[in-house]
Amino acid sequence: MTEAERLSKRLIQQIACSRREAELYIENGWVTVDGVVVEEPQFPVQDQQIALLPGAKAETQPPITLLLNKPAGLGCGLGANSCQQLLAHAYRWSEDASGIRPLQRHLRRLELLTPLETDASGLLVFSQTPGVIKLFKDKGATLEQEYLVEVEGTLDASGLKRLAFGLSYKGTTLAPCKVSWQSENRLRFAIKAVQPGQLRYMCESLGLRVLGIRRLRFGRTGLAKLPVGYWRYLGAAEKF
């Protein structure tokens, strides 16, 4: 048995590339060890079979942003009941059209930019991308969000107008928003800078019972057909 050495060193010897090229090939998922993709240049190898996959490119890959359709009942923290358990390649939507090659590092160092309450469902945005993170931190309050709120009860025209403008929450008058009936028991909100508990409070203050809250869209990007419990990459042409 040969002495263990770094995968990157073995690859350099095998294909006569530079150290940086070897690291890029490995980090970008182009190298297999006994048929299994390994993305760590420091991975120790001995007598295993090392192979470079067809089409391999020694190029720097940008950080990514992904969209998750959170189920109701899962929190946004790091506990056992967290939606972050869904950040695994097993939960990537099979119809993801981004063209991005899935890598293990895409699921590390992700920042949740758009948390939701545990009992709410819908769009969450996770990102490694500095520009996207800065956008949400600096201008997130100006991005319109779209929600569907399932309710029980009745609401006349004046009540609908009050939902759109005239309510206060936690001692502050709420900014105007757009509210309409999507069906006989679903209200559609187009609203900015939503605070935790705000939508439930708005509806309950007018005598409605809230059965469910679902976020559909943040800015110009929405869930579309993304199934509950799955995620996809944000495509290069998509903007918030």
- If one counts every other C-beta atom within 10 angstroms of the C-beta of residue 150, the result is 17
CA atoms of 121 and 125, how far apart (whole Å): 13
Question: Could you read off the pLDDT of 143-163 as tens digits, one per residue?
Answer: 999 999 999 999 988 999 999
Average pLDDT over residues 190-216: 96
The pLDDT of residue 61: 87
Neighbouring residues of 79: CB distance < 8 A, sequence distance ≥ 6:
none
Neighbouring residues of 184: CB distance < 8 A, sequence distance ≥ 6:
none
Q: Which domains, ranges and CATH numbers included, belong to the chain?
A: 5-52 (3.10.290.10), 65-139+222-233 (3.30.70.580), 144-218 (3.30.70.1560)
Q: If you write DSSP's letter for every residue of 137-172 in order, what string do you get?
A: HHHGGGSEEEEEEEEES---HHHHHHHHSS-EETTE
What mean pLDDT is reported for the chain? 94
pLDDT-above-70 percentage for the chain = 100
Please tell me the pTM assigned to this model: 0.89
Task: State phi, psi for 59 to the nearest 5 degrees.
Answer: -125, 145
pLDDT bin (cut points 50, 70, 90) of residue 3 is: confident
Question: Could you read off the pLDDT of 167-199 as tens digits, one per residue?
Answer: 999 999 999 999 999 999 999 999 999 999 999
Asked whether the predicted pLDDT for residue 71 surpasses 70, the reply is yes
